[in-house]
Structure 1
Amino acid sequence: MRVFFFLLISYMSMAQEIIPLYPDGVPGLKVKDVPEKMTGANITNVTVPTLAIYKPQKQTSNAAVVICPGGGYAVLAYKKEGENLARWFSERGMIAVVLKYRLPQREYFTDAGIRPLQDAQSAIAFVKSHAKEWGIKDVGIMGFSAGGHLAATTSTLFDNPVGEIKRSSEEVRPDFSLLIYPVISLDDNITHEGSKKNLLGPNFNEQELKRYSPEKNITEKTPPVFLVSTTDDWVVPENSIAYYLAAKRHKVPAEMHIYEKGGHGYALTKDNRGPVEKWPEALEAWLKLHKWL
């Protein structure tokens, strides 16, 4: 009983606060009162994006991380690739913020393709605006699968923030990025077609393909990156490889782990997938190397 009580108190101490990302109104919203839909642990029909803030019982890091769940730009794997990771960071003394971002649903938003990026940029800006209050210096971004694509575009397209809210590039630039089995390129030979079609819609041009292929937009100002993929993933590891090689060319600090087996969507689960299950240990070591943990 005493052990159970201790665990309960420890869990509750990860103070979670959920706030709307746009308290003064969601930009680009065409319709109101759309019910959010949850299927299992996945969410869709997000018209009110939110931030879930996890603060550790004992803060030992001067950094925070914004987490973008994946789901092919069709759903959000919110619990598996959001909440669970926030608790992982919180247990290690780092503030984590789970972003429930809008999907590019054209029936709900004008300029639907920019809305996920607008939400990610707004989330980074929000956390940075609380840096002094929260006792942090750097703000990173993490993404899984299509959320990895969102994190990568946030890490490469900060010079021209999107949408109606005017922000500076410094406000929306992450200080590091963590890309786990990410969709990166929109090139036909390596992209994940579902994510590509959901993001860009049926009509797009070559300029949009380049803009939303993060490996083509890396510069010396791109933040340091940590990447994880597996050889047997249907989001092929060439996505991570392309980003890593571009980062290397521009002298951006980068570390990449490609495991032989593990498939897709493993996040923190332990279900006999082999060595890939140790990727969080590699991440922790990388964060410590850069003094973020």
Structure 2
Amino acid sequence: MKSTSLFLVLMMIFTVFAIGQEKLELYTGNLPNAKEGADLGENIPELYFYKPTEIKHKIVFLIIPGGGYSHVAMKHEGHDVAKTLSDLGYPAFVLRYRLPKADQMLDKRIGPIQDAQQALSYIRIHSTSLGIEQGKVGVLGFSAGGHLASTLSTHFEKDYLDKGLSSATLRPDFSVLLYPVISLDDDITHKGSKTNLIGPDFLESDVTHFSNELNVNKDTPPTYLMHAIDDKVVPIQNAERYLEALQKNGVACKLFVYDTGGHGFGMVNKTDTRSWLDDMINWLEKL
């Protein structure tokens, strides 16, 4: 029995190192914004680090998967992307953020952005101990994770954690927003994401506050966007509105457009041979 247990432990350790993945402790102590005595179940934030065998670039990615603020698509919009970037020599992190739950949180609207700000600041504060050279740290988000990434990229003047963190710490150096939910305007939003984040009763002030095309200014990070014209889940107008706001404020930006592909395809659009990821890296390296 002892030898079997030892074998299983060694296999678990080997698996972690084989894929270069390490689970980090995002918070120490109590979770911010949690109701006392609430049963959080599996709604616990997690941060995973994919450290390349050889770090070839001074660019770090914080990856935020989508899921409509109802679940987190950790595999194809998280771990798979981090593994690919790590193989290319880029340090990458995957965030499982808390889903907005009124029965668990004092203010469910800010639970996800608290975790995103904590993850970004954690990466910057612990870069030396993690073996990462100081360089650009940016955010890459899909769908509703793209909404959270755009919130991180436009709300950096506000420390949602109330820890006294500066805007320099909370501002990503770049953003990659992939078929993102950007606006909470009913004409173009993903209604499930909107309801889960700020609903079911909508205050107009919340709609404005979290419609991130309205929050762009000259200090918004350089942004790469990708969207498919035939996306019926999250209309491409989300990306187009954000792009227009970036252009008006003189922020470096690009929108990579697929004619087809729909929504939620992650790294690989099976209807088009072009790779948004290759194009994004090429764009990012030239910034």
- TM above 0.5, yes or no, is yes
Judge conservation of contact 2:64–2:95 (CA < 8 Å) in 1: yes
| In 2, Cα distance between equivalents of 1:10 and 1:58 | 18
The counterpart of 1:20, out of the listed 9, 14, 25, is: 25
Q: Does 1:282 align with 2:279?
A: yes
C-alpha offsets along residues 70-101 of structure 1, whole Å, 9 cap, x if unaligned? 00000000111000010111011111010010
Between stretches 71-80 and 15-24, larger displacement belongs to 15-24
| In 1, Cα distance between equivalents of 2:40 and 2:181 | 28
Shift of 1:269: 3.6
Identity over aligned residues, as a percent? 40
Partner of 1:185: 183
Letter in 2 for 1:61: H
Between stretches 153-162 and 131-140, larger displacement belongs to 131-140
The counterpart of 1:194, out of the listed 188, 192, 197, is: 192
Q: Relative to structure 1, is the Cα distance of residues 10 and 28 closer, same or farther in structure 2, using a 3 angstrom cutoff?
A: closer
1:61-72 to structure 2, matched below 5 A, reads 61-72=57-68
1:143-222 to structure 2, matched below 5 A, reads 143-222=141-220
Shift of 1:145: 0.3
- Give secondary structure in 1 for the equivalent of 2:200: coil
Partner of 1:246: 245
| In 1, Cα distance between equivalents of 2:165 and 2:135 | 19
- Give secondary structure in 1 for the equivalent of 2:275: helix
Shift of 1:185: 0.7
- Give secondary structure in 1 for the equivalent of 2:246: helix
Shift of 1:10: 11
The counterpart of 1:100, out of the listed 83, 89, 96, is: 96
Q: List runs of 5+ in structure 2 lacking aligned partners.
A: 1-13
Shift of 1:156: 0.2
Per the normalisation by structure 2, the TM-score is 0.89
Aligned residues: 270
Q: List runs of 5+ in structure 1 lacking aligned partners.
A: 1-8, 37-45
- Give secondary structure in 2 for the equivalent of 1:183: coil
Q: Does 1:268 align with 2:273?
A: no
Shift of 1:209: 1.1
